[in-house]
Structure 1
Amino acid sequence: MISLLKTIVSKLGGVDTSEKNHVDTFTENRILNVPGEQIASIENGGIWVDFQELSDYHFMNIIVIGKKKYKTFEGCELVFSSNSSELKLISDSKEIASDFSNVSNRWITQVDFDITNINIDMIINKEANQVHFNFKKDSETFEIIK
């Protein structure tokens, strides 16, 4: 029945505005023009980092691009690991949600971390080998770009 109505509408000069014909250029533009420096990679994506200072607080803003959708109200962890040490960061906000681009079939997620009292030399000097992005009961591992 719905197929018949769509056919009638298109024959009468109407426009098919269904979701399958929608091209999300806004999200795709965000994926193609990511601010910051890419520090880690995975197939078809990676992690970009940008540092920000507000008053006496320091934040690390990351953008994760990949094939997985992240949605949680419990926050997430970012764990930088090397052969000898580990640095664990907990997200500043608890609500995390990804945006989908149907152009490249990828998800983009933005997460902020408060790094005011944390020594982030492992991140800046790229001493770590891997980054683990942990959320809920799932995890994704990225390789550090040296």
Structure 2
Amino acid sequence: MLLKTEQDEKLVFSDLGRTCFAEWHNVPAPVQKDPLDMPTRNVVVTDHEDSPVDRPAKSGRYQNAGEVVREGLRSVEREDAEGGARIEALRDAAQAGMADVKARRIQSVDSAEELYQHFGTVAAGAIESAHDRESGH
């Protein structure tokens, strides 16, 4: 039996002599995608590959093997995106280097020792600049 009281908008539920009170809410239920509407794939894995899929599902970290596989796919997507960003950074660095060569902003060295000395000087300058930025200079 349902009764709505006028003064506090509560519902009174009577269940075999027990009365419970519940707040009256008009909140729509969340819409969940029907799992049957999602694409499915059958995947063959080796015994070695089965363990990393099965173990997290059995431990309770994931509800099932499908969740483990989907997490792995998200990881692949992240790696692909990061790899693309690294390649783009390398291209930018190569273009900057080529622009420096064309503008003759280069330094020639005659030996490996001179090259290492130059790298040491560049590194020391970079460290000094970083310290200056940190200290506010």
Q: TM-score range by the shorter chain?
A: under 0.3
Q: Which structure has the highest strand share of the two? A: 1
TM-score (norm 2): 0.24
Q: Which structure has the highest helix share of the two? A: 2
Bigger RCO (CA 8 Å, 6+ sep) = 1
TM-score (norm 1): 0.23
